[in-house]
A and B are shown apart, each in its own frame.
Chain A
Amino acid sequence: MIALRDVVVDYGRGTRTVRAVDRVTLDVPRGQSVALIGPSGCGKSTLLFAVAGLIRPVAGEIRIADEPVEGPRRDTALILQNAGLLPWKTVWQNANLSLFLGKEYPRTTAGAVLEELGLSDVKNRYPSELSEGMKRRVGIARALSTSPQVMLMDEPLASLDTLTKERIQDLFLKLWARHAFSFVLVTHDIEEAAFLGQRIVVLSARPASVKAVVDNPKMGGLDYREASAFRDVVLRLRTELEREP
Chain B
Amino acid sequence: MNRAKRAGRWLVERVEDRGVWRHVAIYAASVLLLLLFWEVASVVIRSLKGGREYLPNPIVAIREMVRLGPLLFSNFWISAWRLVLAILIAFVTGYPLGLLVGHERRLDELISPIIYIVYPIPQVAFILILFLIFGIGHPVKVAIVAIALFFQLLVSARGAAKQISLEHITSVLSAGASRWQVYRHVILPATLPSILTSLRVSVGLGMAFLYIAETTGSFDPVRGGLGSFIKNNMYSTGQAFAGIIAMALLGFCLYIIIDVVERIVCRWTYAARRSS
As a 0/1 sequence over residues 238 to 276 of chain B, the CB contacts with chain A under 8 angstroms (1 = contact) are 000000000000000000000000000011100110111
- Are B275 and A129 neighbours in the complex by a CB distance under 8 Å? yes
- Are A87 and B177 neighbours in the complex by a CB distance under 8 Å? no
B30 touches A (CB below 8 Å)? no
Bound complex: CA of A84 vs CA of B174, how far in Å? Answer: 10
- Are A126 and B271 neighbours in the complex by a CB distance under 8 Å? yes
Name the prevailing secondary structure of the B interface residues.
Answer: helix
Which residues from chain A contact B185 at a C-beta distance below 8 Å? Answer: 86, 89, 97, 101
Residue in B173, B268, B271 whose beta carbon sits within 8 Å of that of A54 in the complex? B173
Query: What is the minimal beta-carbon distance from B74 to any residue of chain A, in angstroms?
Result: 41
Bound complex: CA of A86 vs CA of B186, how far in Å? Answer: 8
B175 touches A (CB below 8 Å)? yes
Which residues from chain B contact A129 at a C-beta distance below 8 Å? Answer: 271-272, 274-275
B16 touches A (CB below 8 Å)? no
Residue in B175, B177, B192, B271 whose beta carbon sits within 8 Å of that of A125 in the complex? B271
Mark out the residues of chain A between 68 and 119 whose CB falls within 8 Å of any chain B CB in the assembled complex: 72, 74, 77-78, 80-82, 84-89, 97-98, 101-102
What residues of chain A have their CB less than 8 Å away from a CB belonging to chain B? 49, 52-54, 72, 74, 77-78, 80-82, 84-89, 97-98, 101-102, 125-126, 128-129, 142
Give 25 CB contacts A-B under 8 Å. Answer: A49-B170, A52-B174, A54-B170, A72-B175, A72-B176, A74-B176, A80-B167, A84-B168, A84-B171, A85-B171, A86-B168, A86-B186, A87-B268, A88-B192, A89-B189, A89-B268, A98-B175, A98-B176, A101-B172, A101-B181, A102-B175, A125-B271, A126-B267, A126-B268, A128-B272
Task: Give 15 new A-B contacts, CB below 8 A, not counting A88-B266, A101-B177.
Answer: A49-B170, A53-B174, A72-B174, A78-B175, A84-B171, A86-B168, A88-B189, A88-B190, A89-B268, A97-B185, A98-B175, A101-B175, A102-B176, A128-B268, A128-B275
